Amino acid sequence: MEQLVNRLDVAMFNAILRESADEMPTYPVVNNFVPDEFSPGPVPNAVYEALNNEDIEDDEGCITSFPCTAGSTFYAPPPASSVVSMLKEVGTPLLRSGSFVLKKLYTSDDELDE
């Protein structure tokens, strides 16, 4: 949206600077397919034609309504045996060292540099 507003501002500014209606600016068509170091040659016209002829509505992944409805999220509780085994390990050094590692994951970059 911000880009559209910026483009509108530029168009309005150019319209103000224009002295007559005969001086209509001709903006180049926005072309996302430009030659670069990976594809130095121009894009063949057949590619443009194929893209223009592609029907967006036939796409299986096309969203036709907004907001898009999604299925409800289902959260399953952990099995009781898993919870019991975790509670038994609370006093073990392994879990303490694991929690220590978790603490270090949440430190700042400055602390990591030290």
What residues does each domain of the chain span?
A: 2-55, 80-109
Contacts of 104 (CB under 8 A, 6+ apart): none
Buried b (16+ CB within 10 A) or exposed e, 63-90: eeeeeeeeeeeeeeeeeeeeeeeeeeee
Mean pLDDT over 76-96 rounds to 75
Cis bond before residue 42 (omega within 30° of 0): no
pLDDT confidence bin for 75, thresholds 50/70/90: confident
The predicted-structure confidence for 15-60, as pLDDT tens digits, reads as follows 766 666 565 555 555 556 667 777 778 878 888 788 777 766 565 6
